[in-house]
C-alpha cells in the first residue's frame, strides 16, 4: 500500500496493486512479459479528490521506470513486478487505472506494432481461448484495448468472462473502430452535428468541439432513381436528374467533409456503401494510434452486416446511436448469444449464392435468431467463395441476426489480394490474425450457445416472396404464391398488362451485384437470349444498377454488358435504386391500367427486401431472385410459370425456349471470372474513389466551421406551393435534413393499418375529441395545441423495415412520449431511446386490447427490467390496470432517457466539460 499526494487537489489517496497474472511468453520475434493487474484507489485525506485524468509513473522492484497514461499500454519491457508501486506524477486521475497492461509487439515488413494479446487475457481472466467463438474474441479484444475506467472498465472484462463461462447475461461497452453511413441516414446525422455546432458556438465555446472522434465514411448511394432505363443514355440522364434533385443536400455534404475532420464522403455514382466497404474501405486489421486491432464497424444501414463476410465484425445501428458513437460514446450492449451454423458439403451445379442466402434466411427465421450473433464454420466454408459469404452476411437482418460472421481464412486473404489491398496491409492482417488466434482452421472447436447444420448440397434454385424475404419458394411453386391470379387473367386484347405479369425486373443491390459469379451468370443468360433473338416483354421495366464501378469494368471487358444492353439491362446508375424503392415510374399506360383494374402485378429483383409497397406503390407482389433469374423472368414477362417445366418464351422462329437452354454452367462462369475479374480492375476503379466526376467537383460550398442554413428551403406538403415541381419532390429519404417535410411524413406509409380505423389504410387516425378522421400529423398538432401527450399502442415487430432515424425523431416531434408494443424491431427500439421516447412491452400480450379512445396514465420507475403500471380509463369512465415492462437494455439507456435523448446527454457533457476546462 502506498500513500501519496494528489497534485493540485488537496488530500491523499492510497493505491493498492493486486497482482493476478505474470508469465514470460515466447513469441516468434522476442520474449515479452504480460501483466494483468487491478488497482484500488482510496482517498485517505480530509478533502475530496477529483478524479479527472490519469498519468502515472510505474516503478518496479528493480527501479525500472515506465511512463503510462491513457489506456495503459507501456511498451515491451517487464511492466510491474511484485513489490512495485504506482507513483502519481501529474494532473489528476481519470479513473482507477486497471486492466491488461500488455507489452507484446509484432514485427511485420521491417516495422513493429503494439497489440493487446488475447492469450494473456484468456489466462488472466480464466478463459479457455480455444472454446471462444471468433465474434467473442473480437469483442474481448475491443474491451481490453478500450478499458479506461470510464467508458470501459475492468468490470466489463470480468462480466464478459463470466458471461462466457457461465452464460449469465451481462452488458458491456463496445467501441467500434469506425462508422459507415449512407446519405439518407448520413445527412440527418450531419444536420444534427451541424446544429450542435451552432449551439456550442452560441454558448461561447469552440464549434470544432463537435467533431467525429473516430473515422467516418459516408457513401452517397441512396439518391439515384431509375427514371430512365433500357437505353444507352439512361445512366447520363439519371445522373443529371439526381444532381438537380439533390444539389442542396450535396452542397451540405461537401461542407461537412470540409468542416469535420475524420469524415470522408464518397461521391454519388461510385457504388453502394456496403459493396464499397467490402471491396475497398474495410481493413480487417486497423492501426489505432500505433496499436493493431481488429477492424470493427457500425453503420447507419441494417445491411452493414455484409462486411462480416470478410471477418470484420459489424452491424447496423440507428442514425442517432451512430451519432453518439461518432462523438465518442460507446455502444452499451447486452452480450448476445452466439449461434454456430455448421456448413457442410458444396452447392450443386446451377445453384447460386442467392439461392443459398434465401434458403439460410428461411432456416434461421424458423430458428429465431433475433438479437443473436450467428457464426458460420465447418468444412463447407472452403466451398463458398468470399463473394458468396458476403452475400450470406448481407442478409443477416432478414434472417433476424445482429450479424452473420464468417471467420478469416486463406480464402479471405486471397479476396484481399484480388480486391487490390496492398501487400504490406495483407502481411499485417495475416501476421496479426495468426498471432491472435483469429485465423480459422479446419473445425471450429468453439462452444456456441446453440448450433445447427446446413448442408449446402441440399440447396435448390429458389426465389423469395411475394411479401417477405424469408418466404422461400421453389421455382416450381412460384405460380401458387399468387393463388387465384390465373383464373382472373385478362386476355391479351383486353389489357396490355395482366395479373401475375412482371412489370419490374431489376438487377440491383449490393447483396448480389458484389458477387461476380451471379453477375456474370446474368450476362451469360443475356448473351444466350441475344443469340436466340428473344427480349423481355414490352411491359417489363428492366434496369441494372451495380454496387460498384468494378462490376461495369468486368462486364464491359468480357463483352457481357453489350449483351445485357441488347435486352434492355443497360446500366441506369450506381447505387441502391430499385432495392430501396427508387425504382422510378412505370410507363404511364402500364401504371394507369394497374390502378384502374386493381391488377396484382409483380417485380423480380436481386435485392434483399420485398415488403409490399417497398419496390413500387403499384406493385404488390415482389420476388427476390438471383441476377440470372431476374433476366429469365424479364424474358418470361410473368411469374405464373413453372420454370422447371414450362417454356420461358419462344425464340424468333417460334420454338419453345426453356430455362435449361439459357442457364450457364459453372465452367462457363468460372472461365469469365478467371479472365476478367482481377486485382488490376479493382485497383483501377478505386484509385481515385473520393474525387467524383466533374459534376460533383463543381458543387460549391462554404468553408466555414458552421453551416450557413438556407431558411427558404422547401418544406412538406407545401413543396409545390414553394415552387418545387412535382417531378422534383424526390423521396422522403432525400428530405431528411428538413424537419418540416419529415414531420409530415412520419406515419405516412400507405400500407399502415391503424386499428382505430377499420376501413382506412395509410397515415390516418381518428381525432378522439371530435371523432374526425384526419392525417396523423393533423391530429398530432391538435393534441399539441391541447397540451395532450400521446402514446402509441402496437402489436408485434413494431418498427420493422429499413432502419430510419426519422421514424423515431418524427415520433418525438409529433408529441409521442411512449410506445407500448408486443415487441420491437431492434434498431427502432434503440432509436426511440436515443430520442427520449420510452419503449414499453406488454407483460401479457393478452392485455393488448384497445379501441384507441382510452386515456392512459403510466406510473413507475423507468429502468432496466422495471415494471410500469398502465392505468386505462375507458370512455364510460371505467378503469383497469395492466403491467408493462421497460424495454430498456442498459443503465446508459436509462441516462439517455433521463437526459431527453442521447444527443442531449452528449451535448450537455461536452459543453459542460469545455466550460469547466476554460474556467
Higher-pLDDT residue of 737, 23:
737
Pairing of β 111-115 and β 502-507: unpaired
760-812 residue pLDDT tens: 888 899 999 998 999 999 999 999 999 999 999 999 988 876 556 778 888 99
Where is average pLDDT lowest: 114-128, 672-686, 861-875?
Answer: 114-128
Where is average pLDDT lowest: 38-47, 624-633, 713-722?
Answer: 38-47
Q: Is 382 exposed, middle or buried (0-12, 13-18, 19+ CB in 10 A)?
A: middle
HSE of 95, CA atoms in CB hemisphere, 13 A: 16
Domains and CATH numbers, the chain: 1-103 (2.60.40.1470), 178-457 (3.30.499.10), 462-487+495-677 (3.30.499.10), 731-911 (3.20.19.10)
719: confidence class by pLDDT, cuts 50, 70, 90: low
Closest CA to 542 of 646, 629, 631: 631
Please state, in angstroms and rounded to a whole number, the distance separating the CA atoms of residues 637 and 724.
36
- Whether pTM > 0.85 for this model: the answer is no
Closest CA to 363 of 513, 469, 518: 469
Specify whether the CB–CB gap between 814 and 743 falls below 8 A: yes
197-223 residue pLDDT tens: 998 898 888 899 899 999 999 999 999
- Length of the chain in terms of residues written: 919
Specify whether the CB–CB gap between 347 and 217 falls below 8 A: no
Where is average pLDDT lowest: 240-249, 609-618, 724-733, 788-797?
Answer: 724-733
Closest CA to 839 of 784, 892, 884: 884
pLDDT value of position 819: 96
Closest CA to 506 of 229, 182, 221: 229
pLDDT value of position 809: 86
737: confidence class by pLDDT, cuts 50, 70, 90: very low
Please state, in angstroms and rounded to a whole number, the distance separating the CA atoms of residues 479 and 502.
12
pLDDT value of position 380: 97
Please state, in angstroms and rounded to a whole number, the distance separating the CA atoms of residues 90 and 254.
42
- Cross-strand partners of 638: 501
Question: How does DSSP assign 732-791, residue by residue?
Answer: TGGGTT-HHHHHHHTT--TT-B-TT-SS-BSSEEEETTTTEEEEHHHHHHHHHHTT--EE
Assess whether pLDDT exceeds 70 at residue 18.
no
Assess whether pLDDT exceeds 50 at residue 80.
no
Q: CA 553 → CA 550, 558, 563, 718, distances in Å?
A: 5, 9, 14, 43
Amino acid at each position: 500500500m502506498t500513500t501519496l499526494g494528489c497534485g493540485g487537489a488537496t488530500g491523499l489517496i492510497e493505491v493498492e496493486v493486486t497482482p493476478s497474472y505474470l508469465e514470460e511468453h515466447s513469441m516468434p520475434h522476442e520474449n515479452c512479459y504480460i501483466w494483468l493487474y487491478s488497482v484500488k484507489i482510496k482517498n485517505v485525506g480530509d478533502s475530496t479528490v477529483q478524479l479527472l485524468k490519469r498519468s502515472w509513473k510505474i516503478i518496479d522492484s528493480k527501479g525500472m521506470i515506465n511512463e503510462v497514461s491513457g489506456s495503459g499500454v507501456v511498451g515491451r519491457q517487464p511492466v510491474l513486478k511484485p513489490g512495485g508501486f504506482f507513483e502519481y506524477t501529474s494532473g489528476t486521475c481519470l479513473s482507477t487505472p486497471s486492466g491488461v497492461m500488455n507489452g507484446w509487439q509484432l514485427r511485420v515488413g521491417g516495422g513493429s506494432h503494439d497489440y493487446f494479446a488475447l492469450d494473456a487475457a484468456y489466462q488472466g481472466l480464466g478463459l479457455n481461448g480455444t472454446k471462444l467463438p471468433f465474434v467473442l474474441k473480437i469483442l474481448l479484444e475491443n474491451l481490453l484495448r478500450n478499458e479506461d475506467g470510464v467508458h470501459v472498465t475492468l468490470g466489463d472484462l470480468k462480466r464478459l468472462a463470466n458471461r462466457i463461462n457461465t452464460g449469465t447475461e451481462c452488458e458491456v461497452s463496445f467501441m467500434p473502430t469506425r462508422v459507415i453511413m449512407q446519405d439518407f441516414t448520413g445527412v440527418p446525422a450531419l444536420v444534427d452535428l451541424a446544429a450542435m455546432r451552432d449551439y456550442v458556438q452560441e454558448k461561447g465555446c469552440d464549434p470544432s468541439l463537435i467533431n467525429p472522434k473516430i473515422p467516418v465514411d459516408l457513401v452517397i448511394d441512396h439518391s439515384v432513381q431509375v427514371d430512365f432505363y433500357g437505353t444507352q443514355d439512361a445512366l447520363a440522364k439519371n445522373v443529371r436528374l439526381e444532381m438537380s434533385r439533390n444539389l442542396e443536400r450535396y452542397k451540405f455534404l461537401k461542407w461537412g467533409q470540409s468542416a469535420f475532420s475524420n469524415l470522408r464522403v464518397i461521391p454519388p455514382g461510385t457504388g453502394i456503401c456496403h459493396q464499397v466497404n467490402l471491396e475497398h474501405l474495410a481493413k480487417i486489421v486497423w492501426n489505432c494510434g500505433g496499436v493493431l486491432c481488429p477492424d470493427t464497424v457500425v453503420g447507419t444501414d441494417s445491411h452493414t452486416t455484409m462486411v462480416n463476410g470478410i471477418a470484420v465484425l459489424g452491424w447496423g445501428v440507428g442514425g442517432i446511436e451512430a451519432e453518439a458513437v461518432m462523438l465518442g460514446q460507446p455502444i452499451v450492449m447486452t452480450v448476445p448469444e452466439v449461434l454456430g451454423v455448421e456448413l457442410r458439403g458444396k452447392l450443386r451445379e446451377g445453384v447460386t449464392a442467392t439461392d443459398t442466402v434465401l434458403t439460410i434466411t428461411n432456416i434461421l427465421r424458423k430458428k429465431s435468431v433475433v438479437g443473436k450473433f450467428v457464426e458460420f464454420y465447418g468444412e463447407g466454408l472452403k466451398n463458398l467463395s468470399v463473394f458468396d459469404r458476403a452475400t450470406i452476411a448481407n442478409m443477416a437482418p432478414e434472417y433476424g441476426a445482429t450479424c452473420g460472421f464468417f471467420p478469416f481464412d486463406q480464402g479471405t486473404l486471397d479476396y484481399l489480394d484480388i480486391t487490390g489491398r496492398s501487400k504490406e496491409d495483407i502481411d499485417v492482417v495475416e501476421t496479426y490474425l495468426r498471432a491472435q488466434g483469429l485465423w480459422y482452421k479446419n473445425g471450429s472447436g468453439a462452444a456456441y450457445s446453440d448450433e445447427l447444420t446446413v448442408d449446402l448440397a441440399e440447396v435448390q434454385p429458389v426465389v423469395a416472396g411475394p411479401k417477405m424475404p424469408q418466404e422461400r419458394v421453389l421455382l416450381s411453386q412460384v405460380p401458387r404464391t399468387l393463388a387465384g391470379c390465373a383464373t382472373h387473367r385478362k386476355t391479351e386484347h383486353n389489357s396490355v398488362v395482366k395479373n401475375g405479369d412482371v412489370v419490374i425486373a431489376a438487377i440491383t443491390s449490393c447483396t448480389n451485384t458484389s458477387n461476380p459469379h451471379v453477375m456474370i451468370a446474368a450476362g451469360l443468360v443475356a448473351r444466350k437470349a441475344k443469340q436466340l433473338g428473344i427480349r423481355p416483354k414490352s411491359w417489363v421495366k428492366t434496369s441494372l444498377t451495380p454496387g460498384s464501378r468494378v462490376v461495369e469494368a468486368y462486364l464491359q471487358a468480357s463483352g457481357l454488358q453489350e449483351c445485357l444492353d441488347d435486352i434492355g439491362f443497360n446500366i441506369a446508375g450506381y447505387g441502391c435504386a430499385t432495392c430501396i424503392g427508387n425504382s422510378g415510374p412505370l410507363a404511364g399506360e402500364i401504371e394507369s391500367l394497374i390502378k384502374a383494374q386493381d391488377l396484382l402485378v409483380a417485380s423480380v429483383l436481386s435485392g434483399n427486401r420485398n415488403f409490399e409497397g417497398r419496390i413500387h406503390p403499384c406493385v404488390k407482389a415482389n420476388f427476390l431472385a438471383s441476377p440470372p433469374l431476374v433476366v429469365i423472368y424479364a424474358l418470361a414477362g410473368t411469374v405464373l410459370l413453372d420454370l422447371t417445366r414450362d417454356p420461358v418464351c419462344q425464340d424468333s422462329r417460334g420454338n419453345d425456349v426453356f430455362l435449361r437452354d439459357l442457364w450457364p454452367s459453372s465452367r462457363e462462369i468460372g472461365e469469365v471470372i478467371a479472365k476478367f475479374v482481377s486485382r488490376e480492375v479493382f485497383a483501377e476503379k478505386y484509385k481515385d474513389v473520393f474525387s467524383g466526376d466533374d459534376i460533383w467537383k463543381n458543387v460549391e460550398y462554404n468553408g466555414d466551421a458552421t453551416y450557413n442554413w438556407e431558411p427558404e428551403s422547401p418544406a412538406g406538403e407545401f413543396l409545390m406551393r414553394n415552387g418545387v415541381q412535382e417531378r422534383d419532390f424526390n423521396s422522403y429519404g432525400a428530405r431528411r435534413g428538413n424537419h418540416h417535410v419529415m414531420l409530415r411524413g412520419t406515419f405516412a406509409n400507405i400500407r399502415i393499418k391503424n386499428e382505430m380505423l377499420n376501413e382506412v389504410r395509410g397515415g390516418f387516425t381518428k381525432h378522439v375529441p371530435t371523432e374526425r378522421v384526419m392525417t396523423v400529423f393533423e391530429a398530432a398538432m391538435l393534441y399539441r395545441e391541447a397540451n395532450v401527450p400521446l402514446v402509441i399502442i402496437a402489436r408485434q415487430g413494431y418498427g420493422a423495415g429499413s432502419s430510419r432515424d426519422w421514424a423515431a425523431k418524427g415520433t418525438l416531434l409529433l408529441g409521442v412520449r411512449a410506445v407500448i408494443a408486443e415487441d420491437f424491431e431492434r434498431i427502432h427500439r434503440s432509436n426511440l431511446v436515443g430520442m427520449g421516447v420510452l419503449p414499453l412491452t406488454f407483460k401479457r400480450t393478452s392485455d393488448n386490447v384497445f379501441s384507441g379512445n382510452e386515456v392512459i396514465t403510466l406510473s413507475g420507475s423507468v429502468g432496466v427490467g422495471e415494471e410500469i403500471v398502465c392505468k386505462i380509463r375507458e370512455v364510460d369512465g371505467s378503469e383497469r390496470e395492466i403491467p408493462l415492462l421497460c424495454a430498456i437494455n442498459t443503465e446508459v439507456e436509462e441516462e439517455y432517457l433521463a437526459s431527453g435523448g442521447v444527443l442531449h446527454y452528449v451535448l450537455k457533457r461536452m459543453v459542460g466539460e469545455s466550460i469547466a476546462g476554460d474556467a
